[in-house]
Amino acid sequence: MLYKGELVGEYIPDLVVQHQLIVDTKTIDRITDHERGQMLNYLRITALPVGIILNFKHARLEWERLVLTNEPKLEGDTKELIL
């Protein structure tokens, strides 16, 4: 990963599907704004449009889908944050 032309780190996603989707797997208590922000940064860096966060901590899978767009808006009861 480059910042202002300097190498500042390396990003290796958990999974990239058909050069269009980033999948980030977690085993955490719950998905928070920290994980959402991290995914949005991954989407901006890679210029990919969609990311999914999967949390395997509990018996029931928790997941969120994030889509990077030009206009920020939050979808009602769905688990989609569209930016």
Q: Name every residue whose Cβ is closer than 8 Å to that of residue 9 and which is 6 or more positions away in sequence.
A: 1
Does any domain span residue 67?
A: yes
Does any domain span residue 59?
A: yes
Does any domain span residue 52?
A: yes
Of 1 and 25, more confident: 25
Does any domain span residue 28?
A: yes
Does any domain span residue 10?
A: no
Asked if pLDDT for residue 10 goes beyond 80, the answer is no
Does any domain span residue 71?
A: yes
Q: Specify whether the CB–CB gap between 42 and 35 falls below 8 A.
A: no
Determine the structural domain holding residue 38 and report its residue range. Answer: 15-82
Asked if pLDDT for residue 69 goes beyond 80, the answer is yes
How far apart CA 78 and CA 14 sit, in angstroms, is 24
Say how many domains are in the chain: 1
Q: What is the pLDDT of residue 81?
A: 54
Within its chain, how far is the Cα of 73 from the centroid? 16
Q: What is the pLDDT of residues 14-59, one digit of tens each?
A: 899 998 999 999 999 999 999 999 999 889 888 899 999 999 999 9
Of 6 and 76, more confident: 6
